[in-house]
């Protein structure tokens, strides 16, 4: 499947010396190949790039002068999706988890799985320990939390969302992640764009979704239910939103109206393959070798 997206982020920098860290470039992974890309920065400033070896996230860093700053990025990406039968995917025992997966078992800033342990065990502890339990958690969050724009803050955590029962995509993701970790299922926060979202929710935007580690690989889930997972282009992943911001700003800066777009385009064979919803387990991740011993 070939997807093309564009991100334009305009700012008004009020004082020279404001620092920015962006994470808007498509991650390069064995299942996600960047066919072509173009980066434009309106100010003539040095750019520094760093790729996180664990997540594949690509960090772009710059220091801006005062005045207008626009960062624009375009990419065409080929994605190879893996589709599996959910009934054939069992959970991975903690003793068999690869070392790189272990950090996603623990509580984090926005995902207080320790606080939610009792609640999670009551709701999901007796379910079959496989993909179906993760799907049950995803569906529970989708049913019990309402999508309400502007209903949360940058400091809103999973426990707050469970209490308020409303939020935006990052809040849905944090709650699902916390509930998964509370029943010993590794889960991570992943960012992309909201392909297929209802225009009534607003213009295209960055999107937070969840990947849970079951059956030896990371599978994708969208607890907000607002987008089509097959249309997600991976930007980065982490323990929660603290690891995965699309833009971090240090200094006196006013963000202007951003512009995003994403669409399916014909692949190298000339065939257009559009993302669709599927009942199958969906992954864009390679299998991870289990722990030795």
What is the per-residue pLDDT for 126?
A: 95
Q: At what angle do helices 117-124 and 169-182 cross, to 10 degrees?
A: 80
Same domain, 235 and 260: no
Contacts of 34 (CB under 8 A, 6+ apart): 26, 28, 75, 76, 77
pLDDT digits (tens, 9 = 90+) for 133-172: 999 999 999 999 999 988 999 899 999 999 999 999 999 9
pLDDT of residue 54: 83
Strand ranges in the chain using DSSP code E only, listed in sequence order: 2-13, 18-22, 32-41, 48-51, 58-64, 67-79, 82-84, 146-147, 166-167, 187-193, 206-214, 217-221, 236-238, 247-250, 253-255, 259-265, 281-283
Task: Tell whether 170 and 259 lie within a shared domain.
Answer: no
The CATH number covering residue 29 comes to 2.60.40.2250
**pLDDT tops 80 at residue 286:** no
Q: Do 62 and 124 lie in a common domain?
A: no
For residue range 57-92, what is the model confidence (pLDDT) as tens digits?
A: 999 999 999 999 999 999 999 999 999 999 999 999
- What CA–CA distance (Å, rounded) separates 10 from 68? 7
Q: Are 173 and 209 in contact (CB under 8 A)?
A: yes
271 domain residue, yes or no = no
Shared domain check, 180 and 212 = yes
Residue 259 located in a structural domain: yes
Q: Are residues 252 and 237 in the same domain?
A: no
Quickly list DSSP for 198-263.
-GGG-S--EEEEEEEEETTEEEEE-TT--S-GGGPPP-EEESSGGG--SEEEESSEEE---EEEEE
Q: How far is CA 255 from the centre of its chain?
A: 22
What pLDDT was estimated at residue 291? 64
Question: Based on the domain organization, do 130 and 214 belong to the same domain?
Answer: yes
CATH number for the domain harbouring residue 112: 3.10.620.30
| 71 plus 125 within the same structural domain | no
Residues paired with 218 in a beta bridge: 213
Q: Is residue 206 part of a domain?
A: yes
Residue ranges making up the domain that contains 38: 2-78+248-265
Contact 140, 157 (CB under 8 A): no
Query: Is the residue at 21 inside a domain?
Result: yes
Tell me whether residue 257 is in a domain: yes
Assigned domain for 105 exists: yes
pLDDT at 96: 94
Q: What percent of the chain has pLDDT over 90?
A: 92
Residues 109, 233, single domain; the answer is yes
| Three-state secondary structure call for residue 167 | strand
Structure tokens that stand for 273 in this block: 């393959």
pLDDT at 292 over 60: no
Same domain assignment for residues 166 and 105: yes
Q: How confident is the model at residue 243 (pLDDT cuts 50, 70, 90)?
A: very high
Q: How far is CA 238 from CA 108, 194, 211, in A?
A: 10, 18, 10
Q: Are residues 138 and 110 part of one domain?
A: yes
Are 117 and 42 part of one and the same domain? no
Domain membership flag for residue 89? yes
Task: Tell me, yes or no, whether 207 lies in a domain.
Answer: yes
Same domain, 190 and 117: yes
Say how far apart CA 110 and CA 152 lie, in whole Å.
Answer: 13
Evaluate if residue 275 carries a pLDDT over 70: yes
Number of structural domains, the chain? 2
Residue listed under structure tokens 């209802």: 198
Mean pLDDT on 24-35: 95
């Amino acid at each position: 499947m070939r997807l093309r997206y564009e991100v334009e982020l305009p700012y008004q920098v009020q004082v020279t010396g404001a620092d920015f860290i962006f994470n808007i470039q498509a991650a390069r992974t064995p299942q996600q190949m960047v066919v072509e890309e173009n980066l434009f920065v309106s100010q003539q400033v040095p750019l520094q790039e760093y790729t996180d070896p664990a997540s594949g996230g690509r960090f772009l860093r710059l220091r801006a002068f005062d005045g207008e700053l626009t960062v624009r990025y375009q990419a065409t990406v080929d994605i190879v999706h893996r589709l599996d039968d959910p009934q054939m995917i069992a959970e991975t025992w903690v003793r068999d988890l690869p070392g790189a997966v272990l950090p996603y078992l623990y509580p984090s800033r926005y995902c207080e799985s320790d606080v939610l342990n009792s609640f999670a065990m009551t709701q999901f502890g007796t379910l079959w320990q496989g993909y179906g339990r993760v799907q049950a958690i995803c569906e529970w969050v989708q049913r019990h939390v309402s999508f309400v724009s502007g209903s949360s803050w940058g400091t809103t955590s999973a426990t707050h969302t469970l209490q308020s029962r409303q939020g935006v995509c990052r809040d849905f993701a944090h709650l699902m992640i916390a509930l998964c970790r509370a029943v010993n299922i590794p889960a991570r926060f992943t960012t992309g764009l909201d392909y297929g979202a209802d225009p009534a929710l607003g213009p295209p935007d960055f999107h937070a979704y969840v990947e849970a580690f079951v059956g030896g690989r990371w599978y994708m889930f969208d607890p907000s239910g607002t987008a089509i997972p097959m249309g997600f282009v991976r930007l980065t992943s982490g323990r929660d939103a603290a690891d995965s911001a699309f833009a971090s700003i240090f200094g006196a800066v006013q963000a202007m109206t951003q512009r995003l777009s994403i669409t399916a385009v014909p692949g190298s064979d000339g065939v257009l393959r559009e993302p669709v919803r599927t009942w199958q387990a969906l992954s864009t991740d390679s299998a991870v070798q289990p722990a030795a011993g």
